[in-house]
Amino acid sequence: MTAKELCETFDYASERALSRDHEAIHVPADKLIACVTALRDEQGYDLLLDVTAIDWGMGTSPRFTGVYHLFHTKSIAYLRVSADATGDAENPVLPSLTDLYPAANWHERETYDMLGIHYEGHPDLRRILMWDGYNYYPLRKEFPLAGHETEMPEPDVVAATEGAINPTAAPMMGGPFVSPQTGNMSTREPRARDESWHETKPKGN
């Protein structure tokens, strides 16, 4: 069905004008579950391909928009559904589609991991690509490309092993193909943008 027909069927949906290829609709977050259920059961969009989100930057409102890609296997058609996340800029919330599509499970975990969007109703929302104790959400726009320094080894590991674990230099350290390991991240990483505004201390001290 085209976006226009879908917007007539679901009166809370609006067309997403940014889409250059597929039909795309935009729904409010509280109607998302109802809309996707109807799309799956009545309209026949039986394959959930992708769940992702876009961060519009600090200071925007709404800051995050969840984007879902559904597929109609009988008529070979894609549909893009987007919904703005509720909540504030630091703790956005979207409803979870895991009950409807088990495929959403890992995708929502990844979006939570990368952007910090909390999916309500998700059975097991924990980080999937980064490790569990990681404190940041890397794909947010304020996260620098060169990354933040994290304590390695973790303080609790050092305490538990009584300092027996020392971070050893990896092979090739100091060689011509490896960036220097001391100094601030902005000098160590050649492609890093100017991150000096947030660096706390140079590594190696």
Partner 1 sequence: MKTDYSFGDTQTRAALYEDGELAGETMTLNMGPSHPATHGVLRLELELDGDYVTKCDPVVGYLHRGDEKIAENMTYNQFVPYTDRLDYLAPLANNVTFVLAVEKLAGLDMPPRAECIRVLCCELARLSSHLLGMGVYGMDAGAWTAFMYCFTVREQIYTLIEELCGARFTTSYTRIGGMTRDLPDGWLEKVRRFTDEAAKTIDDLDKLMTRNKVFLDRTKDVAVISREDALAYGFTGANARASGIDLDLRRDKPYCGYENYDFEVPLGSVGDCYDRYLVRLEEMRQTLGIIRQCCDRMPDGAWFAEDAKKIYKPTKDKVLTSMEELIQNFMLVTEGPQMPKGEVYFEAENPKGWLGFFIHSKGGGVPYRLKIRGPSFCNLSILPKIVPGWMMSDIPIILGSLDFVLGECDR
Point out which residues bind partner 1 (CB under 8 A): 18-22, 24, 46-50, 52, 54-55, 67, 69, 73, 76, 78, 80, 101-103, 105-107, 110, 114, 123-124, 127-131, 138-139, 143, 145, 147, 191, 193
Query: Nearer Cβ to partner 1, position 35 or 137?
Result: 137
- Between 93 and 139, name the residue whose CB sits nearer to partner 1: 139
Nearer Cβ to partner 1 (96/105): 105
Decide if 137 contacts 143 (C-beta within 8 A).
yes
Q: Which helix (H) or strand (E) holds 87?
A: strand 86-87
Classify residue 138 as exposed, middle or buried by CB count within 10 Å of its CB (0-12, 13-18, 19+). Answer: middle
* CA-based radius of gyration for the chain: 22
Assigned token pair, 4: 């226009």
As measured in angstroms, the least distance from the Cβ of 158 to partner 1 is: 22
Distance CA 9, CA 5 (A): 6
Q: How far is the CB of 143 from partner 1 (least distance, A)?
A: 8
Whole-angstrom distance, CA of residue 84 vs CA of residue 25: 12
Please say which residue, 42 or 162, places its beta carbon nearer to partner 1: 42
The least CB distance from residue 163 to partner 1, in Å, is: 25
Min separation Cβ 110 and partner 1, Å: 8
> Which element (helix H / strand E) includes 54?
strand 47-55
